[in-house]
Structure 1
């Protein structure tokens, strides 16, 4: 069985790296915050709606959602961010991230299982597992389906 998969890697927080399998990524685009339409009474990690190919795309501050300091506020604020558009069964969600790193092949056989005590409680539910790279750093493997099905935006999707 082929266990090599293509993943998109990107920064999480200041020191961490995460990957998402390319099979759930439709597009990567640069988003200017000025073009995001805020929606009142939403959790702070939901930045609002963006006009994407004539569709309404919900944009989520991935770092804020996973328990990191939000990239959409304070000194971390970037006027332009990268959005990773996830898709599953016709549902789309845009994840705002600080910086994309690369597309890499990873062997899913080498993915280690998540143990709750290793990670932030907010991060654990969205992890498929993690990899250890050549420099002994942990790379979080995020589960696109779980992120898409998170209750926070389920009702709005």
Structure 2
């Protein structure tokens, strides 16, 4: 087509381009993911440094560390701790580490503290409207301090998408336990 001499000289009427009107997204961009129990959560994209997929042998276990921590990994020359997010939130199911790769969400607080949150599965990015966010109801006390609210996906089946506060997770006293 570019080699065609008429390509550059054709008038706009000859080849009117078809433009599709793009809709402006509502809300803010979030990463949606699942923990081992199947519960779905979201984190604001602005607090995520990177989403990694690492094999379990790239996560080095550290003896005598908190049971919430899977170990450390080398990310671009920086050592970051990797935690089982579901366990941290008080979820009963343990993350399956006997698989080829583990999704890890690297979150940070003001470019100083970084933590890798290991999850079961990444759903993807989605524009979510914060105006539709509701106060979390019927959540365990172990999780409540780390939630900003939830969106109701299906009230009949009790499906909720819970919005996490990555700063509260990073600054939690649970890491010292």
Provide TM-score, normalisation by structure 2.
Answer: 0.77
The question of whether the paired residues in 2 share the 8 Å contact of 1:7 and 1:20 is answered with: yes
**Runs of 4+, deviation exceeding 6 Å:** none
Alignment of 1:6-25 (within 5 A): 6-25=29-48
Aligned positions, number: 147
- What is the CA-CA distance between 1:8 and the residue it aligns to? 0.3
Looking at secondary structure, tell me which structure has more strand per residue.
Answer: 1
Match of 2:151 among 124, 128, 131: 131
The DSSP-based 3-state class of the residue aligned with 1:39 is coil
**Corresponding residue for 2:124?**
102
Which of 47, 53, 72 in structure 2 is aligned with 1:49? 72
Q: CA RMSD for the aligned pairs?
A: 1.9
**Which 5+ residue runs of structure 1 have no aligned equivalent?**
none
User: What is aligned with 1:88?
Assistant: 109
TM-score (norm 1): 0.86
Q: Which has the larger radius of gyration?
A: 2
Deviation at 1:95, TM superposition (A): 0.2
Query: 1:151 and 2:176 equivalent?
Result: no
